[in-house]
Amino acid sequence: MMPQLQAAPLELIEEIRSCTQCSLHVGRDHPVVGIGDGRSGLLVLGEAPGAEEDRTGVPFVGRSGRLLRLILLQELGLEDDQLTISNVVRCRPPKNRTPTRIELATCWPFMERQIAFLQPRAILTVGNTPSRALLQTKEGITTLRGRTYDRHGVIVVPTFHPAAALRGRPEVEAALRSDVRLLRDVLGAGS
């Protein structure tokens, strides 16, 4: 079998890049398909691209993304090229607002197909939007985080968005690190 080298099958990459199903496509530069090939068994899921991600098409490369990557590197020992990261919404919402329910629902089938392709053992959902979407709940991240969930055999670990840790709240970074250590235990247990 050919090794899997990209974060999504080629036809899905093409569909995401050419998608015009919601109004977010109007202002986008680069939609985010994702990086990594799932080898580590972990998929990191964010909300939507910000300015840097829209400019580059790569998820979590802005200030908060750099903090998240550092935490993943320090707590999991994974290098950047071992990370598989995507966003539940692929195009940047204006002024980084939260994606609407309709935008999220329109983009969601891409995520389902990407998860089916990557077959992660665990998913780290970063912030309210991906955590609620994956767990199909209206609960907020403060309530959801700190434990694991089983979604059709995939372990979901919800955690705070690193942007919250950058707003001068050290307890948020401590909680994020603690959730990532939980994730480490889950991944370790399955390997």
Site of interaction with ligand URA (CB under 6 A): 46-50, 53, 59-60, 62, 64-65, 87, 126-127
Report, in Å, the least distance between residue 173 CB and ligand URA. Answer: 15
Please state, in angstroms and rounded to a whole number, the distance separating the CA atoms of residues 46 and 72. 14
69/184 with CB nearer ligand URA = 69
With CA atoms as reference, report the closest residue to 10 among 81, 114, 121. 114
17/189 with CB nearer ligand URA = 17
Report, in Å, the least distance between residue 134 CB and ligand URA. Answer: 13
Which amino acid does the sequence have at 150? D
Please state, in angstroms and rounded to a whole number, the distance separating the CA atoms of residues 93 and 33. 15
Residue nearest to ligand URA (CB): 46
31/46 with CB nearer ligand URA = 46
Report, in Å, the least distance between residue 190 CB and ligand URA. Answer: 25
107/189 with CB nearer ligand URA = 107
